[in-house]
Structure 1
Amino acid sequence: MKQIPRIVVIGSLNMDVVVEADRPPALGETVAGKQVHFIPGGKGANQAVAAARLGANTRMVGAVGTDAFGQSLLAALRQEGIDADTVKVVEGTHTGIASIVLSQGDNQIIVVPGANDHCLPADLSDCERQIAEADVVLLQLEIPLPTVLFAAKMAKRLGKTVVLNPAPARELPDELLQHVDVLIPNESELYLLADSAAGQELEAAMRSLLQKGVRTVVTTLGAKGAAYLTDKEPLGFVSSHKVDVVDTTGAGDSFNAGFSYALASGSSVAEAAAFATAVAALAVTKLGAQAGMPTLAEVNQFIHA
C-alpha cells in the first residue's frame, strides 16, 4: 500500500447555516428552532476534510467569495492540513451558502451556489501541475458541469483515477461518464442516471452505467450498506454498521472520501467500499458534516471492534 495517498478534490465550498428544530416546518408553516450553527461545508470541502482526517495528502480546488464566510472556510481547510492555495477568491461575489434544517437526525437543505458558480475550466488549467501529482481526483456536481467535465478529461489525460459523486442529482452526458473510473451515486441518483425507475433491479441499473463507459459503480444504500459492480467482477455488497445517528449531512461525503482514500492506498473495490461504509457510519454520529469526519485511527478502531 502507498504510504500517503494523494487526493485532489475539485468542488464546492459552502458555509452551512444549520438550524436545529424538533421537526421541519410544513409548507407555509413557522416552527421554533432550538439552536443555529455556522459550520464549514460544501460537498467538495466536506470530502477534502474527510480525506485529510484519514491521512491523505489533500488539495482543494474551488472558489469562495470575498466575504467573512470565505475567509472562514479557507482557514478551516488549512487548519485540517489541506492545501487551499488553489481555491480562488472571487471579487464581488458571496461565498456559497447551504441552509439546513436538522430534525430527528435527518435534514432538509437549500443551497445557494454563490462563488461556486465561478469555479471554471480556466482555473483547472492554472493548477494542472498539482492535479498531475494526485493519485485520485474526486469530483461532485455543486460546481458548473463544464468544469466537472474538463476536470475529468484533464485527470484522465494525466493518468489519474477519477471518482465522481453525482450529487446533487442531475442527468449527465455520456462524455463525462466515459472519463469516470468510479461513480458513487445513492439509489435515487443511480436510477436517474440509468434512466430507470426506482424499484427496478439494482444490478441492471448499475450495469447500464458500465455500458455508458463508467468502469466501476458503487451505490450507497443507506442503512442497507452499499453495492459495487465493475466491468470485470459480479455484483457485491457490503453491510452497514448500526450506530446512533446525530446528523446525516456528511454521510455521502464521508463515504466518497473514504472510498477514494482506500482506493488510492491500493485497496480493491470491495475493500474500499467496506472501509468507506465504516467511515460514513462514524461520520453520522456527530453534528456537522466536517466536524463529524473521523480520523484513520478512529476508523480502524471501529472496524476492529
Structure 2
Amino acid sequence: MNTTHHPALTVVGSINLDITATASRLPLPGETIGGAVLRQQPGGKGANQAVAAARLAGRSRMVGAVGMDDAGRNLLDAMAAVGVDTTDVARVDAATGTALVLVDSQGENSIVVCPGANAEVSVAGVEFGEDEAVLCQLEVDMSVVLEAARAARGFFALNAAPAMPLPAELLERCDLVIVNETEYELIPELRDAALVAVTYGADGAAIYERGVRVAEAAGVVVLDVANTIGAGDAFCAALVLALRSGLDYSQALAVANAVGADAVRDASSQPALKELQHYVAAAAPTR
C-alpha cells in the first residue's frame, strides 16, 4: 500500500467491464435481433472517474475490487497504464463486475449491471491522507460509502448516482455532492446539503449551498457526440480537482463542463482528456 505520497484524488467505487451490443433497435421481450455490433471496454463509474482524474492530474488512486478472471486483470492493466494507482484494488473470488448494454441506432440504451466483485469492495486497511480528496459513487454498497466517508480525513465528495436515499451521517460528511438534474429531483434531502453541484446537460451546471443557487456555468455545445456514458464521470473528477486547485465555483463548473464536452466526443467510456490546466486556461474569462 502506498502511504508515503497520496495522489490528489482517490476514488472508491465500481469497476466494470462494459459489453455493448449496438443494434438497429432494442428487442422486445422474447425477440431476437440480428446484425448487431459487439464492443467490450472498461467501465464502472468508479473506474471511469479514477481514469479521468489520472488523465487530468497525472495520477490518481482507485479503491475497488475485481475478480481473479481475465477481465479483472485487463481492467487493472488499463487503469495502471494511464496513471491510476491500483494497489488498493482487491482481487476477489467473484466475477468481475459487468454491464450488459444494448444500444439502438438513435443512441437509446438498456443496461443490466451484474455487480460481481463490486459487492465485495472494502476500505478496511486503506489509509487516506489529510490533503487527499476522496470521491465515491453509489454503485457499491452504501455501507462501503459510509465507511469511506468516516475514513477520509480530507475533502470528501459523493457522486450520488444512481439516485437513492442518503443517510444523514453521509450527507453531513460530504464537502460536495454531485448529481444530474434528475437525481437532484429524486433525492429531496439534497436541498439541505452544504454544497451540491447539479448538471443540466446542454444547459450547463450550477452549484447550490443549502438549496440556494450560488454559482452557474453555461453548457458547451457539442455537435459531434460519440458517447455520453463517461461524460458525467469525467465532469465529477474535473470538478473536484478544479475546486481543490483553488478555482471559484463558477470557474470550476466551467472547467468541468469543458471536460465533459470533450468526453462526449470520444466513443470510450474512459475518454482521452487533456491535462486539467488546459481546460483551466480555456475556461478563463477574457479581459
Output the TM-score relative to the length of structure 2.
0.89
In the TM superposition, what is the alpha-carbon distance from 1:49 to its structure 2 partner? 0.5
Partner Cα separation in structure 2 for residue 162 and residue 179 of structure 1: 7
Q: What SS class does the counterpart of residue 184 from structure 1 fall into?
A: strand
Matched, 1:79 2:81: yes
For residues 78-97 of structure 1, what are the alpha-carbon distances to aligned partners after superposition, in whole Å with 9 as ceiling and x for unaligned?
A: 10111001000002x10000
CA shift in 2, pair 1:22/1:80, >3 Å: same
Superposition TM-score, scaled by structure 1 size: 0.84
User: Any residues of structure 2 matched to 1:1-20 within 5 Å, and which?
Assistant: 6-20=8-22
**C-alpha deviation, 1:19, in angstroms:** 1.4
Q: What SS does structure 2 have at the residue aligned with 1:218?
A: strand
Note the 1:161-180 alignment, pairs <5 A.
Answer: 161-180=155-174
Conservation of the 8 A alpha-carbon contact between 1:210 and 1:216: no
Query: Contact 1:105–1:245 (CA<8 Å) still a contact in 2?
Result: no
1:28 CA displacement: 3.9
For residues 240 and 213 of structure 2, what CA distance do their matches in structure 1 show? 21
Deviation string 1:129-178 (CA, Å, 9 cap, x unpaired) is xx2165310000111100101111221xx2x1111001111111111111
Contact 2:19 2:38 in 1 (8 A): yes
SS of residue paired to 2:173: coil
2:91 paired residue number: 89
> Identity over the aligned pairs, expressed in percent?
42
Amino acid at match of 1:126: G
Q: Secondary structure at the residue paired with 1:142?
A: coil
**Unpaired runs of 5+ in structure 1?**
195-207
**How many residues in Structure 1 have an aligned counterpart in Structure 2?**
277
User: Which of 153, 165, 187 lines up with 2:150 in the alignment?
Assistant: 153
Aligned to 1:268: 248
Q: Does the C-alpha gap of structure 1 residues 231 and 192 become closer, same or farther in structure 2, counting only changes over 3 Å?
A: closer
Give the drift of 1:301.
Answer: 7.7
- Which amino acid is 1:76 matched to? A
Q: What is the letter of the counterpart of residue 180 of structure 1?
A: C
Q: Deviations for 1:231-263, whole angstroms, at most 9, x for unmatched residues?
A: 597433211111121111112101101101112
Q: 1:223 to 1:149 in 2, by over 3 A?
A: same
After superposition, the Cα gap between the structure-2 partners of 1:108 and 1:300, relative to the gap in structure 1 and judged at 3 Å, is farther
2:228 equivalent in structure 1? 248
| Distance across 2 between alignment mates of 1:293 and 1:26 | 35
Once residues 73 and 262 of structure 2 are traced to their aligned partners in structure 1, the CA distance between those partners, rounded to angstroms, is 28
Cα 1:302–1:285 change in 2 (3 A) is farther
Aligned to 2:198: 219
Where 1:178 maps in the other structure, the secondary structure is helix
- Aligned pairs for 1:1-305 within 5 A: 6-91=8-93, 93-103=94-104, 104-120=106-122, 124-128=123-127, 131-132=128-129, 134-155=131-152, 158=153, 160-194=154-188, 209-211=190-192, 214-231=193-210, 234-243=213-222, 244-290=224-270, 292-296=271-275, 299=279, 303=283
Structure 2 counterpart SS, 1:287: coil
Asked if structure 1 preserves the Cα contact closer than 8 Å seen for 2:215 and 2:249, the reply is no
2:56 alignment partner AA? L
Q: Indicate the larger mover: 34-43 or 105-114.
A: 105-114
Q: Is the 8 A contact 1:107 1:249 kept in 2?
A: no
Q: Tell me, what secondary structure is at the counterpart of 1:132? A: coil
* CA RMSD after TM alignment: 2.2
Q: Distance in 1 between matches of 2:75 and 2:91?
A: 11
